[in-house]
Amino acid sequence: MAFLFGLLLALGAFGLYLSLWGRMERLLAGGVRPAWRGDLRGGRYPLWHPEGVRALLAEAGYRQAGVGAFYGACIGGAILGMLVGNLIASGVVVMMAAGALGGSLIPFYIVARRAEGVARERRQQFAEAVEILRGLVRVGYGLERALEFLAESGPLLMRPVMGRALAALRTGGLRAALEEVRRQVASYDGDRLALALYATATYGGRNVGAVLENLARAVREDLLVRREAEAEMARQELSARIIGILPIVVLAAMFLFSPDYAAVYREPLGQGVLAFMFVLIWLGYVLMRRAMALPQEGRLLVELAPVEGGA
- SS3 of 39, please? strand
Containing structural domain, residue 117: 60-239
Residue 79 in this model has a pLDDT that exceeds 90: yes
Residue 193 in this model has a pLDDT that exceeds 80: yes
Asked whether the CA dihedral 230, 235, 240, 242 is positive or negative, the reply is positive
pLDDT at residue 100, rounded to an integer: 92
On whether residue 249 sits in a domain, the answer given is no
On whether residue 103 sits in a domain, the answer given is yes
Mean pLDDT within 158-184: 89
Residue 38 in this model has a pLDDT that exceeds 60: no
On whether residue 170 sits in a domain, the answer given is yes
Percent of the chain with pLDDT over 70: 79
- Exposure letters 291-301 (e unless 16+ CB within 10 A, then b): bbeeeebebee
Say which amino acid occupies 120.
R
Distance CA 47, CA 94 (A): 25
Structure pTM?
0.72
On whether residue 38 sits in a domain, the answer given is no
Between the CA of residue 134 and those of 7, 46, 138, 154, what are the distances in Å?
60, 38, 6, 13
Q: Over the stretch 281-308, which tens digit does the pLDDT of each residue have?
A: 888 777 777 777 666 666 776 667 665 5
| Mean pLDDT for the chain overall | 78
Greatest mean pLDDT among 9-13, 15-19, 175-179, 235-239: 175-179
- Identify the bridge partners of residue 42 per DSSP, sorted by sequence position: 39
Distance CA 42, CA 1 (A): 54
Distance CA 55, CA 50 (A): 9
- Looking at the 3D structure of the chain, how many domains does it have? 1
pLDDT at residue 43, rounded to an integer: 53
On whether residue 34 sits in a domain, the answer given is no
Burial status of residue 181 (CB atoms within 10 A of its CB: 0-12, 13-18, 19 or more): buried
On whether residue 283 sits in a domain, the answer given is no
DSSP 157-195: GGHHHHHHHHHHHHHH-HHHHHHHHHHHH-SHHHHHHHH
On whether residue 54 sits in a domain, the answer given is no
On whether residue 29 sits in a domain, the answer given is no
